[in-house]
Amino acid sequence: MVIESDVWIGARVTILAGVRISTGSVVAAGSVVRSSFPPGSVIGGIPARVLRMRMPETSAT
């Protein structure tokens, strides 16, 4: 398990082995995280899924 910077994890969250919680993500309370998600994700549920993205996609200019 790897937890990057600027991550918020709610109470009673279960994170399984081999999962990466990417920068800027939020994990809702009571979630079971079985896989890795992209940076800036709001994650929740059993099993966890992306509920929405916190940070808008940035375009390369």
Q: Where are the domains of the chain?
A: 2-53
Q: Residue 52: left if φ>0, alpha if ψ -120 to 50, beta else—which one? A: beta
pLDDT tens for 10-21 read: 999 999 999 999
Coil, helix or strand for 18? coil
Maximum pairwise Cα distance, the chain? 41
| Cα–Cα dist 41/50, whole Å | 6
pLDDT tens for 15-44 read: 999 999 999 999 999 999 999 999 999 999
Q: What is 2-53's CATH number?
A: 2.160.10.10
pTM: 0.85
Q: Report residue 54's pLDDT band, with 50, 70 and 90 as the boundaries.
A: confident
Q: Cα–Cα–Cα angle for 55, 46, 40, nearest 5°?
A: 10
Average of per-residue pLDDT across 49-54: 94
